[in-house]
Structure 1
Amino acid sequence: MAQVKSIGILETKGFTPLIEGADAALKAANVDLVEWRQSGSGIVSFVIEGEVAAVRSAIDVARTAASSVGEVISDMVIPRPVEVLKTTFKK
């Protein structure tokens, strides 16, 4: 994706809801998976990027899907993130 307009993050307790949410998000909207992270104590998260509306839609779908099989801790969408945040998530 040439220009990132938005970043979305979903954080779950356990890997199964994370995978369920990420799968649903990537199928629901034109977004790209940037990465997933393990924070410890079973907390995992994924980061997606794309146009603002697509990321909002994908995170909404991901939250619903993930909560159907486990615990969603938090989610957020950051429209037009500052450059330092974008580079934090890039590998």
Structure 2
Amino acid sequence: MNHVHFLTNIPKWYSIQNVEVLLKSYSSRKMFEGHPGFRKRYPDGGGFWSGYEHYESTGLTNLEESSPYLRDQQRHHNVTVVDDR
């Protein structure tokens, strides 16, 4: 997998950039804590996430259109999703 999609409800007092930093830092920390050997893929201290980001705002009207698209990513990209919780 080379990218992820998030659908989230962000309170007005947070900027999208702040939420991105929170999501990326928390998820990478959890990834490295849960899979210690995974750090070996980043021997130079590089980050888990790339610097690229894309934001798209949805309202309640097009939320119904966006949700199926996000849920169907496994078929859309023809990939196997590994859930190793």
Structure with higher strand content: 1
TM-score between both structures, scaled by the size of structure 1: 0.29
Greater helix content = 2
TM-score (norm 2): 0.30
Greater length-normalized contact order (CA 8 Å, ≥ 6 residues apart): 1
